Amino acid sequence: MAEAYRQFAFVSSVLGGFAFLFFAAILPVPATHRSAPWAAGTALAAAIGLLTVTLGSTFSAAALANLPVGASSPPAIAGHHRALSLMFLGSLYLLLVSFGVSGFIRSRHMGQITVALAVAGALAVAWAISPFVS
């Protein structure tokens, strides 16, 4: 289980860094675009959520790695898995919302395309990750 937490922490940290980079890229957009604050805000919320998942997964992996061989996971750590999984999933959805909304900065047509692709991505994420959320 410790290895699963390590992998979870790694994926969350990479996606969190990407979300923060996306946030930083949107910041220079003039405030005249109504969708820019929404795109930036959801990207930042995603980055914060993914950072939280990274920290929780890293410390869970460290605690599990220090257990004696054959020992069961402490209840506090076992209970974290579902919360971390749901936070990860919610943060991914926030990042996809940011992608979808950001298209409206360019044009209405681009916004419609990015929203459609973000919805397709959200459905794909739900399908891909649902067996692993326990």
Residues 21-33 pLDDT 10s:
999 999 888 867 7
For the cut 70, the answer to whether the pLDDT of residue 93 exceeds it is yes
How many domains are there within the chain?
A: 1
Domain extent, residue 11, equals 2-132
Residues 41-85 pLDDT 10s:
999 999 999 999 999 999 988 888 888 777 777 877 878 888 898
Q: What is the DSSP letter of 1?
A: -
* Banded pLDDT at 97 (limits 50, 70, 90): very high
pTM of the model: 0.87
- Going from the C-alpha of 95 to that of each of 14, 23, 51, 80, 110, the distances in angstroms are 13, 10, 13, 22, 17
Residues 6-18 pLDDT 10s:
998 999 999 999 9
- CA angle 70–53–128, rounded 5-degree value: 85
